[in-house]
Amino acid sequence: MTILQRYIAQAILTSTGLVLLVLLGLYTFMDFITELEEVGKGEYQLADVLAYLALSMPKRIYELLPIAALLGSVLGLGNLASQSELVVMRAAGISIQGINKAVMIVAVGLMLLALFIGEVIRPPAEQAARELQSMAQTGTVGSRSDNGFWTRDGTHFNHIDRILPDGRFAGISIYEFDDENRLRVVTQAKEARYDDTGWTLSDVIQSNLDKDGVSVKAVEYAQWRSQLNPGMLNVVIVPPEFLPVWSLVEYISYLKTNHQSVGQYQMAFWMKVMMPFSSAVMVFLAVPFVFGPLRSTPIGARILVGTLVGIGFHLFNQSFQHIGLVFGVLPWLAASLPTLVFAGIGYFWMKRIY
């Protein structure tokens, strides 16, 4: 990287960081106002709100990074253009391709940053935020349903009422069916604890249904063989878009094995794969903003157009994701099409200015 390329990259990164801080402040303030309505619910107090917002920061940064990358790049390059620095660079023999190379170096850096935040920082932070909020409000680790959640292991259908803070399950009901889909055994347990040998149920009542009637027996402990493991608890507690890729892959495999719907989780997987590329495409779009049809417009107008493009991309991306789930579009296509469309627009504009 040459000195000029480093200078351009520094200008873009500085502007991107400034834009990200402004957007993060606005969204955090709105989240703070929303969470204030929950203060007083259970033991949820102002200190818990502040801790929840702090743990939610990686989520917001990850969501805002593409828009911040576009606006920051437009602002950084626009400032260089307004001070005639880009003109001097071109007069000194630096081509648009050379300037674009510096921009793409920044794009790659932001891709890596998005990947690091999305896969390393955001999942545990979001899980901790939701656990903190749930513990303060209800005293238990919440699931995404007020009525517990269901899982399937082959011909066994399991209902877990809630997850305790130490990872135990409470209020377990297991319904076992035979090959002809007839209910044969109903097992109810107060708790389930996981160790090296698997799940151990406590305070168990088991009802066996056969042609002679129903027989009931109670035991203190029983083994529960289930494909569900503590590593999948995050899938239950945290929505799929907040999970790391490897957890999604594991849970998708689990769902496929048990012939359950995987569309939502496959969509979340491909959205996470495409997210770093989305940030890079947003940076790539900044070059046509400076050298293309808007090169003679004031910097304020360029920022406004950049904001509209960024918001348009975000809305298109989110809308097409839901459209894909409703109409059965291939998950990889639904997740990648918005990014590919905007990349195509950027490439078209770049060809016009070369």
Q: Do 32 and 135 fall within a single domain?
A: yes
Q: Do 184 and 129 fall within a single domain?
A: no
The pLDDT of residue 259 is 73
Q: Within the chain, what is the greatest distance between any pair of CA atoms? A: 95
The pLDDT of residue 139 is 63
User: Nearest Cα to 42, choosing from 133, 136, 130, 132?
Assistant: 136
The residue whose two tokens read 């989780």 is 265
Q: Do 186 and 52 fall within a single domain?
A: no
The pLDDT of residue 210 is 83
Q: Do 84 and 190 fall within a single domain?
A: no
Indicate the number of domains in the chain: 2
The pLDDT of residue 295 is 55
The pLDDT of residue 84 is 79
The residue whose two tokens read 């049809």 is 293
State the DSSP code for 187: E
Residue 254, domain member (yes or no): no
The pLDDT of residue 146 is 57
Across the chain, which has 354 residues, the per-10-residue mean pLDDT values are 82 91 93 89 88 92 88 84 79 78 86 89 86 75 61 82 76 88 90 85 90 87 80 62 79 76 84 86 78 60 74 82 82 89 84 69
Q: Do 97 and 37 fall within a single domain?
A: yes
Task: State the Cα–Cα distance between residues 123 and 104, nearest whole angstrom.
Answer: 28
Q: Do 135 and 156 fall within a single domain?
A: no
Q: Do 7 and 124 fall within a single domain?
A: yes
The pLDDT of residue 56 is 92
Contact 346, 284 (CB under 8 A): yes
Residue 61, domain member (yes or no): yes
Whether pTM exceeds 0.85: no
Q: Do 273 and 134 fall within a single domain?
A: yes
Terminal CA-CA length for the chain: 22
Q: Which domain holds residue 313?
A: 3-139+263-353
Last residue of a domain, one of 231, 247, 282: 231
Residue 211, domain member (yes or no): yes
The pLDDT of residue 350 is 76
